[in-house]
Amino acid sequence: MGSKRKYFDDYDFEESYKKSLEDMEQDQIDRYMKEKGGGVAYQTKTTKAGDSLEADIYPVFGNKKDAPRTKRGNKSRPAQKNLNGKRAKRYLNNLVNANFGKGDLWCTFTYDNEHIPDDPDEADRIFGNFIRRINRRRKAAGKDNVKYICVTEYKDDAGKPTRCHHHVIMSGDVNRDELEKLWKHGKRNQTRRIDPDPDTNAAGIVEYISKDPKGRKRWRSSKNLKKPIVTKSVCKFGKRTAAHMATDRAYLESRIKKAYPGYKFIDAEVKVNDINGGFYIYARMVRD
């Protein structure tokens, strides 16, 4: 598999491969293996974010017409607007893992009845002013601007007031009492230190703030965050190896461990595409 050969990979593999292999009977899997070849090779997209590592293993094609057709291209970074869909939540989780961990802050800032913003844009403006007050104090103390990720939750039911609040993950070198004093729009606030799970880091927090049972959510972040490191390779796993990994969980785990020394295997899932064939493998690891 020569490195000079070009492959078409600009398609949405997460959208294209949705059917779980675990939902298929063994005879279906055997038939699928014989009839569905997938692409001409397999590409591995590796995402490193702090101590976390993810591997996406998916088919690439000789030309565009052979690839699965989706409504949009394979964009790696969603717009910082609405927090919806698996891709947006996954990107947010990686951004948190790349920048925050033990000792940093997880905060919730609320509004009392006198300060409820009229709409999400006003809530963004209020929160932006709050961050500017924090940074002015930090500058006076000789510190850099605070690092943060903010998820704003709000309702958009017609005719009802927008009772929104902000979930914020923030650098830990901020005084919690000072934070609550600088927030002037409500008193039912919470600030606590992050004590992450050794296997998932802050994934539990991200899952909590990204689920959407009642209203809508959107997010913003400071400009001084480190981005997850993303690399791609068509040489890490061959086509036959990927097929073997997809259908043999023990083999999948052993190959992932071998390919990423120094990382502990956490879990993996395998999806298929009935039209174009092939497998999409998503594996998650954490640094040992």
Domains by residue range for the chain, with CATH: 13-76+232-287 (no CATH), 102-195 (3.30.70)
Spatial CA neighbour of 121 closest among 158, 87, 81:
81
Two tokens at 276?
């174009």
The pTM of this model reads: 0.85
Backbone angles phi, psi at 152, to 5 degrees: -100, 125
With contact defined as beta carbons under 8 Å apart, do 162 and 155 qualify?
yes
What stretches of the chain show up as alpha helix (H) in DSSP? Answer: 13-16, 26-35, 86-99, 120-140, 176-182, 203-210, 239-247, 249-259
Distance CA 19, CA 22 (A): 9
- pLDDT per residue as tens, the chain (288 positions): 445 678 899 888 988 888 888 878 777 777 777 666 677 899 999 999 999 999 999 999 998 888 888 765 444 444 445 556 678 888 889 999 999 999 999 999 999 989 989 888 899 999 999 999 999 999 999 999 999 999 988 876 555 555 789 999 999 999 998 898 899 999 888 899 998 887 777 777 888 877 765 556 778 899 999 999 999 999 899 888 998 999 899 999 999 999 999 999 999 999 988 777 789 999 999 998
Distance CA 255, CA 106 (A): 36
Separation in Å, CA 172 to CA 100, 104, 179, 219? 9, 4, 11, 20
DSSP 3-state of 281:
strand
